[in-house]
Amino acid sequence: MPQPHAITCHCGRFRAEVHAEPGDLLECNCSTCARTGFLRWLLPLEAVVLKTESIRLSTYLWRDAHGGYHFCPDCGVAVLRTGWGDRIAVNARCIEGIDVFTLQTRRYDGRCDMPPGPAR
């Protein structure tokens, strides 16, 4: 089993462990990711172990009610994204001790590929 990687928000109030090696990272330019800088690392649910209470996270739902961006209510950093059933996305920028510039990433044109969400 790979050495776990610590995932934290900026202030450190949210902590999780990921039991996998960083890979298949996706940089997206959709309206949400472009603004937050979320660098998606999609993993099986069982690879992510919460080390703090999940109630510490706030959630931004957009397009649907079954998935959203989960962020620290204190520092505002988005650390997780749900909505893929048995998988969860971790913001690779939140991996402790790893420079994301050294990791291989792919780009996804979410701006053009995804239809706009419902008008507010």
pLDDT band at residue 116 using 50, 70 and 90 as cut-offs: low
pLDDT at 118: 57
Task: Give the structural domain span for 81.
Answer: 5-110
In a domain, 119, yes or no: no
- CATH number of the domain bearing residue 72: 2.170.150.70
Average pLDDT across the chain, whole number: 87
Q: Is residue 116 part of a domain?
A: no
The angle subtended at Cα 67 by Cα 6 and Cα 93, nearest 5°, is 30
Domain count, the chain: 1
Tens-digit pLDDT profile for residues 33-48: 888 889 999 999 999 9
